[in-house]
Chains A and B, each alone.
Chain A
């Protein structure tokens, strides 16, 4: 029997394409439009070429924000990943307390970002905040509104408080999938606790940890709301991360052209880092098991 060629079914995809165009591509193109043009309002645009990109690449301000951003992301990854693993290892494996811990861990993840910011903004205040006031009463010189280091510590502790749960829950899921026989074999082989972690738990958690690191990196690299609510990017510019700087530029100063160029580069940087990270990790994986094809 002849097969009839009929590709009309492709038209069924059309509604989705239209939807995606309106929700993603058109807004993105608006940003692209601003990035390559200069405008003085009234919908009048003048071609600017790559001028804004050039400006932004050489902008000290952007470089400083990028530097702060990278340091921030590295610090919170360095804290949250090991801490999350540690918590997951020590969570009860079953029974009432396992469920209790899971719910408890999930709570911070359910709080809206600006509420988290507000909580810590008040919590850390020296005049009325439980933490700030207690520290002040103990004689610790702590004030996140005028000491950059205190501001950094507050923002980092807040992020750790908010997001370590995510790493812990992912790691916990990874741990739960390890068959009991592995632990039994390790006991038979007289393995130490460290060996069990190093040779059984860590390899089995690798997949979920990869996801956890990716998620935490992307999220922290785009962080805006919480530090904005707590410090507003200050004192000075000390906690002005990329998103905060971008918002200041775009909605504070109405420098739409540079801000658009900034946005596009920002997006590409995140994409690039995530892609490199993911590729390196999966290639390592393949290199390890690749020997079997010899």
Chain B
């Protein structure tokens, strides 16, 4: 087990990349601490899988280095890295029994038979397949096969890291919770570094201590679920995390005030001059609709059960707000923004207030 460092790493699938757009992964420096549980969150095609494959050695990066601890493994083949990876779709060895499938990585490492038998039983219990150990893996259902893939990923105790590439896509919803809980338990027990790729924010936020959000080949923010929610570093994070995503309004910033087409909004903190496209962002959860504040035009209200989502128009731009159950919409609705919950963005990146 070791810390994984990515240094000046970038990758392009083209032989001769010319512009930045040719890179699936833009240059990045990133450190995965030993024993951390990370979620790698991002939309499809943002480079998550490429990043995982570079860490496991399935893909060699076009530039930069990968370090396990202090050892440079950039050119080391996958087999030397002793790393586990579970793919999105199940990969099982059809002609082997479930038991042999689970034992396969251990046998390849030349572990002794007694240890293998013990470890396979443990893992089988974890994935709930003890009763099927002697069956051939072929002909099992997709989620049973994926459980075997997960089991194979977890069976080695000495791996440097376990990488999960959207492993629960094919699994039944109720089983998803159970398996995710198992993975967390496993993490607590053995302290493996785990990187869990997903595009499902609930999955990311429940699994990980640290969530890494990727967008367009870049890591745009790494932080705790709370940090991602309260202070998204990039408008993509604001939009991607939370349901519905953060409200963003084009605005001009003047000190501690934002101007949106003549409407003034107090920011609660002072900002220096900004360049480029300037936006302010506020979570729907921090928008209160009542008969006080700034005027809005309500378009429609969606009842999602535990609360309602108000779709409205504010200063000519769309706005979403969360309204608790039991509160009725006033005849002339107005909005107020919770103090200190507004973030300012210049060219999509968050601007810190002066003195912060």
Interface, chain A (partner B; CB < 8 A): 181-182, 184-185, 187-192, 195, 199-200, 203, 288-289, 291-292
Contacts and interface: CB of A to CB of B under 8 A. Distances in A.
A203 B94 contact: yes
**A-B residue pairs, 10 tightest by C-beta:** A292-B139, A187-B78, A185-B91, A190-B108, A189-B105, A289-B139, A199-B93, A190-B79, A188-B85, A203-B95
Given A181-B87, A185-B91, A188-B78, 7 more contacts: A184-B78, A184-B85, A184-B91, A187-B57, A189-B152, A289-B136, A292-B139
Contacts of A187: 57-58, 77-79
A182 B136 contact: no
B28 interface: no
Given A184-B87, A185-B149, A187-B79, A292 B140 contact: yes
A12 B57 CA distance: 62
Contacts of A182: 91
B104 A189 contact: yes
Interface string B66-102: 0000000000011100111101010101111000000
A187 B53 CA distance: 12
B89 A288 contact: no
Contacts of B108: 189-192, 195
Contacts of A195: 104, 108
B138 interface: yes
B354 to A, nearest CB: 49
A195 B79 CA distance: 13
A184 B58 contact: yes
B12 interface: no
10 contacts: A181-B89, A181-B91, A182-B91, A185-B85, A187-B77, A188-B85, A199-B104, A200-B93, A289-B139, A291-B136
Interface in B93-134: 93-96, 104-105, 108-109
Contacts, number: 63
A23 B98 CA distance: 53
B50 interface: no
Contacts of A200: 93
B84 A289 contact: no
A265 B104 CA distance: 50
Contacts of A192: 108
Nearest to B108: A190
A192 B153 CA distance: 17
A199 B53 CA distance: 23
B278 interface: no
B30 interface: no
B8 interface: no
B183 to A, nearest CB: 17
B157 to A, nearest CB: 14
A49 B153 CA distance: 70
B56 interface: yes
A39 B53 CA distance: 77
Contacts of B109: 190
Interface string B50-65: 0001001110000000
Contacts of B138: 288-289
Given A181-B89, A182-B91, A199-B95, A188 B139 contact: no
A291 B97 CA distance: 11
Contacts of B139: 289, 291-292
Nearest to A291: B135
Contacts of A289: 136, 138-139
Contacts of B77: 187
Contacts of B153: 188
Nearest to B110: A190
A241 B95 CA distance: 39
Contacts of B91: 181-182, 184-185
Q: Most B CB atoms within 10 A — which of A188, A191, A200?
A: A188
B77 to A, nearest CB: 7
A162 to B, nearest CB: 32
B120 to A, nearest CB: 14
Contacts of A190: 78-79, 82, 105, 108-109
Contact of B136 (A181, A188, A288): A288
B125 to A, nearest CB: 21
B166 to A, nearest CB: 12
A273 B152 CA distance: 42
A181 B136 CA distance: 20
A189 B96 CA distance: 14
A214 to B, nearest CB: 21
A69 B139 CA distance: 40
A188 B84 contact: yes
A182 B136 CA distance: 17
Nearest to A195: B108
Nearest to B152: A189
Interface string B180-211: 00000000000000000000000000000000
Given A181-B89, A289-B136, A188 B56 contact: yes
A67 B89 CA distance: 51
A138 to B, nearest CB: 44
Nearest to A187: B78
A292 B134 CA distance: 12
A191 B104 contact: yes
B81 to A, nearest CB: 9
A289 to B, nearest CB: 4
A197 to B, nearest CB: 12
A192 B109 CA distance: 10
Contacts of A188: 56, 58, 78, 83-85, 105, 153
A279 to B, nearest CB: 20
A191 B226 CA distance: 41
B96 A199 contact: yes
A8 B227 CA distance: 77
A195 B78 CA distance: 16
